[in-house]
Amino acid sequence: MHAAKPLPSYLINRYKSWKTTTYLENEAWFRRLATEGQHPRAMVIACCDSRVNAISLFGAEQGEFFMHRNIASLVPPFNPDGEYHGTSAAVEYAVTGLGVAHIIVLGHSNCGGVAGCHDMCAGTAPQLEEKTSFVGRWMDILRPGYDRVKDIDDEASRRRALEKEAVVISLENLTGFPFIAEALDSGLLSLHGLWTDIEEGGLEHYVPETGFQPV
Amino acid sequence: MHAAKPLPSYLINRYKSWKTTTYLENEAWFRRLATEGQHPRAMVIACCDSRVNAISLFGAEQGEFFMHRNIASLVPPFNPDGEYHGTSAAVEYAVTGLGVAHIIVLGHSNCGGVAGCHDMCAGTAPQLEEKTSFVGRWMDILRPGYDRVKDIDDEASRRRALEKEAVVISLENLTGFPFIAEALDSGLLSLHGLWTDIEEGGLEHYVPETGFQPV
Amino acid sequence: MHAAKPLPSYLINRYKSWKTTTYLENEAWFRRLATEGQHPRAMVIACCDSRVNAISLFGAEQGEFFMHRNIASLVPPFNPDGEYHGTSAAVEYAVTGLGVAHIIVLGHSNCGGVAGCHDMCAGTAPQLEEKTSFVGRWMDILRPGYDRVKDIDDEASRRRALEKEAVVISLENLTGFPFIAEALDSGLLSLHGLWTDIEEGGLEHYVPETGFQPV
Amino acid sequence: MHAAKPLPSYLINRYKSWKTTTYLENEAWFRRLATEGQHPRAMVIACCDSRVNAISLFGAEQGEFFMHRNIASLVPPFNPDGEYHGTSAAVEYAVTGLGVAHIIVLGHSNCGGVAGCHDMCAGTAPQLEEKTSFVGRWMDILRPGYDRVKDIDDEASRRRALEKEAVVISLENLTGFPFIAEALDSGLLSLHGLWTDIEEGGLEHYVPETGFQPV
């Protein structure tokens, strides 16, 4: 692998600062976590977006959140076809391997992935329709959501509604995984849908009867 | 979606604490990030593991790291077959959409996903061989790595070597994406491989000539 | 331009060292910054003083701080009279062109410019009163600050208080720029006043209710 | 000043890291610098641009460079009219107060200020012509430079040539200050013009007979 480079020194310096502060004051806990394994209470499925950090948002500590992050925090439908399914693998490991009690799907405002899906479905981003577009094909997961919001006249409202549909569709797809359905039935797991507003620092959770509500 | 529940109140309380502290003191920055978009310097591909938090490890702030997290921080080979590829979509968005300057692959000690791959390849975890095992199929990405380490006698050393092979194979697979090869050629992107030891708080980076070295 | 000379070789040597180290390990980032432009989070207004380096003080990286440095880190009052206003131009570019989220005014101990203002206002530096003294006329910006501190008996305390008034007056003048007032109102910008002690390496920030406090 | 806010905690943390590393290992030097004053060898006039850090470029230490930074590293003509002249004040202080041996004017590629001047002079940025545009009025200093490069056909070459003219004009204006002319005549001062390329990390210095040459 001729292309890999050493870490830039500013990151090395910052790591050394972490080592002498965060690591040092949590050393016993890190050692316990290493020898006894992780027992996270929740899995969080969040977006890759650099502006949204669920660990900070919820003041989570080492060992607390099993974090999967992908474009637009999407969960594809259950489809055990023997191919690579990174999200499904993460969900399977969290529920059947680690026994998390919660799966939290966290959507957010100003989501570039959702915006791409909107434009693709609206016909203004044909490049995302191409078979070779990984982003376009990934956002296909959200296409059923576009159908639910396409009649909203105001564009900003439509885009925001689609961001929230991404959360709802992911929750729906999660219930299609047999091991999740089983854990839900036995009361060992609960699902939660959230959407956060980067600009205002707002947070809404999904209530099936009434839709998204400020927490 | 009958299954979704409101957020547990301990998380609501912690969020409210974030809102009055972290959000408030960074409010202008959050508003700028929302209105002007993200410009992260690096993409980090890390594991979902609750014990490893790259943002904390490198003291990164909002807007700095575009974070993808999956089981074992793996990148599958380039394969634009029109199916869902969450990792490939995240990489494509980071490089072609956001123009990140670095992709950092961060592996770690005590990785449950890598342990599963080891046992599967060693023949002691037949359940992971099943077509319906999402974790098993995902860890297929690392199979070529097992071949490289299988002759290491000491089991603990062999497992650790496989954790590091996960980073190397991901780096190798990254170079197979045409848009990454192009960005590397033009000097607009650099790749970095890291492995961190949870117990000791150690950090090693991959140097092609000599393998992993402490930073 | 008969007067310009080539660079002394010790600086050439040091530059070549930078090229093979800092540039090389950040090459992709420099290339991205060049092709995609800067998006600094903060503007820092600091003194020219060779002993105070805000970039080092805050571990800032390339692209992070838009730096204006003048004598005593002063901002003159808003006065769009069509003349050259280097500081006002820098502030305008930072806020309206680059959209920074923070303007940080950094004063410091042992400030020669502030000392000159003190002596001029105290009547012991008549040469600074002359129309042709650029330093004297520049320090006129701080005259209203002298009135606020002149009754402090102890001279060292009075000088130090004047250094901090330089920060406060600059903050006051900043709020007189319409585009800054507007950005403050919309929450897109925040102002911060700091004062650092060269000797002790101390840092204080300005809290309107209580004055300067150690961070 | 109701608007000032405390420093965001990430900057406080980074400052604390500086205090326990850079300050601590240079403590005696900082104390000397505070009690005995600064004696910088050179004044550097550089751009505010966040991507160009002369202190890093030349590996300069505390006390070494008296740094003035403004938009496009411009020096206006000598004009002692009793108004605020931040750049002239900085130059006066450096030469007559501190006795620096060098004034280095550092221009750079991808300069937003120079680009604005280019567009203003070319007639495509009328908003910069307005009296109330601080950036436009500041860039008036460079107008004579545009006349020298306007016949260059290739736009990219013309913009680059204008960036270098900004350095030359600043050097020319510097020689119009009587105290600089005097220091040059007596051999106590030398002037240097530099231009750095952000993308390539290149550095050129100005040689009057031949123009800019790679160092």
Distance of CA D37 to the CA centre of its chain: 23
| A1 pLDDT above the threshold of 60 | no
The amino acid present at D90, given as its one-letter code, is A
Question: Sorting pLDDT into bands at 50, 70 and 90, what band is C99?
Answer: very high
Put simply, the answer to whether D194 touches C7 (Cβ < 8 Å) is yes
Q: Are residues B62 and B99 in the same domain?
A: yes
Specify the pLDDT at position B201: 98
Q: Are residues B4 and B45 in the same domain?
A: no
For chain C, strand residue ranges (E) read 42-47, 65-70, 102-108, 190-197, 202-207, 211-214
Specify the pLDDT at position A3: 76
Q: Residue B74: its chain A contacts at CB < 8 A?
A: 86
Range C85-102 average pLDDT: 98
The amino acid present at C92, given as its one-letter code, is E
Q: Are residues D106 and D166 in the same domain?
A: yes
Q: Are residues C21 and C96 in the same domain?
A: no
Interface check for D9 against chain B (CB to CB < 8 A): the answer is: yes
What number of C-beta contacts closer than 8 Å exist between A and C? 12
Specify the pLDDT at position C3: 73
CATH of the domain at C75: 3.40.1050.10
pLDDT in tens, B134-147: 999 999 999 999 99
Q: Are residues C151 and C133 in the same domain?
A: yes
| B162 pLDDT above the threshold of 70 | yes
Interface check for C101 against chain B (CB to CB < 8 A): the answer is: yes
Evaluate whether B155 touches B122 at the Cβ level (below 8 Å). Answer: no
Using CA atoms, how far residue A181 sits from A168, A191, B3, in Å, is 16, 11, 9
ipTM, two decimals, is 0.97
Q: Which of A10, A39, A68, A84 to mutate to test the interface with B (most CBs of B within 10 A)?
A: A84
Q: How far apart are CA B10 and CA B32, in angstroms?
A: 29
Paired tokens of D126 = 């009328």
Q: Are residues A50 and A1 in the same domain?
A: no
Q: Are residues D24 and D79 in the same domain?
A: no
Q: Which domain holds residue A20?
A: 1-37
| A111 pLDDT above the threshold of 60 | yes
Q: Which of C17, C25, C33 to mutate to test the interface with A (most CBs of A within 10 A)?
A: C25
Average pLDDT over chain B, rounded to an integer: 97
Q: Are residues D115 and D17 in the same domain?
A: no
Q: Residue B113: its chain A contacts at CB < 8 A?
A: 89, 93
CA distance C189 to chain B (A): 5
Interface check for A169 against chain B (CB to CB < 8 A): the answer is: no
| B3 pLDDT above the threshold of 90 | no
Q: Are residues B61 and B134 in the same domain?
A: yes
Put simply, the answer to whether B26 touches D8 (Cβ < 8 Å) is yes
| D117 pLDDT above the threshold of 80 | yes
- Domains held by chain C: number: 2
Distance of CA B200 to the CA centre of its chain: 20
Task: Please tell me which chains touch D, using 3 or more CB pairs under 8 Å as the contact test.
Answer: B, C
Q: Are residues D142 and D165 in the same domain?
A: yes
pLDDT in tens, D59-72: 999 999 999 999 99
Q: Is the C-alpha dihedral spanning C91, C96, C97, C101 positive or negative? A: positive
Q: How far apart are CA A128 and CA A110, in angstroms?
A: 18
pLDDT in tens, C33-73: 999 999 999 999 999 999 999 999 999 999 999 999 999 99
Question: Sorting pLDDT into bands at 50, 70 and 90, what band is C2?
Answer: low
Q: Residue D8: its chain B contacts at CB < 8 A?
A: 25-26, 29
- Contacts of B64 by beta carbon, 8 Å cutoff, 6+ apart: A50, B40, B41, B42
CB atoms within 10 A of CB A208: 14
| B124 pLDDT above the threshold of 90 | yes
Range D71-99 average pLDDT: 97
Specify the pLDDT at position A36: 95
Paired tokens of D62 = 């505390």
If we measure between CA atoms, which residue out of B63, B68, B44, B12 comes closest to residue A47? B68
Q: Are residues C25 and C83 in the same domain?
A: no
Specify the pLDDT at position A2: 57
Paired tokens of D105 = 């004017």
Put simply, the answer to whether B18 touches A58 (Cβ < 8 Å) is yes
Burial (CB < 10 A; 0-12, 13-18, 19+), residue C10, is: exposed
If we measure between CA atoms, which residue out of C80, C78, C67 comes closest to residue C172? C78
Paired tokens of A169 = 């569709």
Distance of CA C60 to the CA centre of its chain: 16
Evaluate whether A169 touches B113 at the Cβ level (below 8 Å). Answer: no
Q: How far apart are CA C77 and CA C174, in angstroms?
A: 7
Supply the Cα-derived Rg of chain A in whole angstroms.
19
| Collapsed DSSP state (helix, strand, coil) of residue B215 | coil
Put simply, the answer to whether B53 touches A62 (Cβ < 8 Å) is yes
Question: Sorting pLDDT into bands at 50, 70 and 90, what band is D172?
Answer: very high
Q: Are residues A83 and A187 in the same domain?
A: yes
Interface check for B122 against chain A (CB to CB < 8 A): the answer is: no
Q: What angle do CA A8, A10, A16 make, to 5 degrees?
A: 110
Taking each helix axis as running N to C, give the angle between helix C112-122 and helix C155-175, from 0 to 180 degrees, rounded to the nearest 10.
100
Interface check for C29 against chain A (CB to CB < 8 A): the answer is: yes
User: Who among C59, C69, C138 is closest to D84 (CB)?
Assistant: C138
Q: Which of C19, C35, C190, C215 to mutate to test the interface with B (most CBs of B within 10 A)?
A: C190
Q: Looking at the DSSP assignment, which residues form a beta bridge with residue A60?
A: none
- Contacts of D169 by beta carbon, 8 Å cutoff, 6+ apart: D74, D75, D141, D142, D144, D145
| C153 pLDDT above the threshold of 90 | yes
Specify the pLDDT at position B2: 57
| B1 pLDDT above the threshold of 60 | no
Q: Looking at the DSSP assignment, which residues form a beta bridge with residue A202?
A: A197
